[in-house]
């Protein structure tokens, strides 16, 4: 456990340091709020033990820690004397403190409450990891790492609403891997999955930060290009095609040459379903025209 003890009293800091170090902790000292925040950031503190009267009071420090995107998981134990009221204890806890520990410090309480607070941080971190994993399962396609059908269509719907409201342009690309069924039939589904994964990675490598990509199903992918007209969409489509076909995909069955056909549609104030129909028709025309090409609706 890594702890930071923030208190104006050198004697109290020394007592806390020796007690916690004897219990196997790494301990750092701070004399004021600025030093406390700096120390927590520098050492990645699990627990901050902070004096109730530190600076202008501990509550602004609690707010600062809990609003910081790097530090908000840090557990905070407020060190308070007999002058803290029950209302003061409740307010500290309500603002984000994890515990209130009375001073003068008793060694057993100091060690026990500090480790309990550190466990709280560990539980929060584990919950955050589980939530992130759940979000991946809900919104992202496990094979390609792209958004799944539900997620990409939902985000496209939101972007269409924004484009309509603010008069922005928007285009979509509908991609299909050329002759994907023969790839599966000849090389096996494992190799097919590896091709899909590689196509997704190469696709993302040619996208801007604001662009979106998702897997609609099978080998059909969708790219959303905000603030992009048809000319810009054609440039993006050709860049993506080149990136995907420039070298074979290394698969478990050996190298496989891959290309994609792309249908391009620029939004013209139609609804989501009509926009996707236009892109799908353009994709069909690209495949009918010989594949490995892009066609604009």
Place of tokens 């800091």: 13
Is 98 catalytic? The answer is no
Quote the CA–CA distance of 105 and 118 in Å, as a whole number: 18
Residue 66: CA atoms inside 13 Å, Cβ hemisphere, count? Answer: 17
At 224, is the secondary structure helix, strand, or coil?
Answer: strand
The enclosing H or E element of 216 equals strand 212-217
Q: Where are the alpha helices (DSSP H) in the chain?
A: 10-22, 33-43, 58-67, 86-95, 107-139, 149-166, 180-187, 189-205, 230-245, 272-288
Active-site position among 219, 229, 269, 280: 219
86 vs 77: CA distance, rounded Å: 16
**How many whole angstroms separate alpha carbon 124 and alpha carbon 126?**
5
Residue 37 burial by Cβ neighbours in a 10 Å radius (0-12, 13-18, 19+): buried
Catalytic residue annotation: 219
């Amino acid at each position: 456990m890594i702890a930071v003890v923030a208190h104006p009293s050198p004697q109290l800091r020394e007592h806390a340091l020796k007690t916690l170090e004897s219990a196997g902790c790494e301990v750092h000292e701070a004399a004021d709020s600025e030093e406390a925040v700096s120390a927590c950031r520098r050492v990645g503190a699990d627990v901050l033990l902070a004096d109730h009267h530190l600076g202008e009071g501990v509550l602004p420090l609690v707010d600062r820690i809990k609003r910081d995107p790097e530090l908000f998981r840090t557990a905070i134990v407020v060190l308070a004397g007999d002058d803290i009221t029950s209302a003061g204890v409740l307010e500290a806890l309500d603002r984000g403190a994890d515990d209130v520990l009375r001073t003068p410090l008793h060694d057993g309480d100091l060690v026990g409450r500090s480790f309990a607070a550190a466990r709280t941080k560990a539980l929060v971190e584990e919950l955050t990891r589980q939530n992130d994993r759940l979000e991946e399962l809900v919104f992202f396609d496990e094979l390609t790492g792209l958004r799944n059908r539900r997620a990409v269509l939902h985000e496209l719907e939101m972007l269409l609403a924004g484009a309509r409201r603010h008069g922005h342009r928007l285009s979509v690309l509908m991609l299909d891997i050329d002759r994907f069924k023969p790839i599966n039939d000849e090389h096996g589904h494992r190799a097919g999955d590896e091709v899909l994964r590689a196509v997704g990675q190469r696709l993302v490598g040619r996208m801007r930060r604001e662009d979106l990509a998702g897997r609609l199903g099978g080998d059909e992918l969708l790219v959303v290009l905000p603030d992009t007209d048809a000319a810009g969409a054609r440039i993006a489509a050709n860049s993506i095609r080149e990136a995907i076909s420039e070298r074979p995909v290394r698969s478990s069955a050996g190298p496989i040459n891959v290309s994609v056909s792309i249908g391009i549609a620029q939004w013209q104030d139609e609804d989501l379903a009509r926009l996707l129909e236009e892109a799908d028709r353009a994709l069909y025309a690209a495949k009918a025209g010989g594949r490995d090409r892009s066609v604009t609706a």
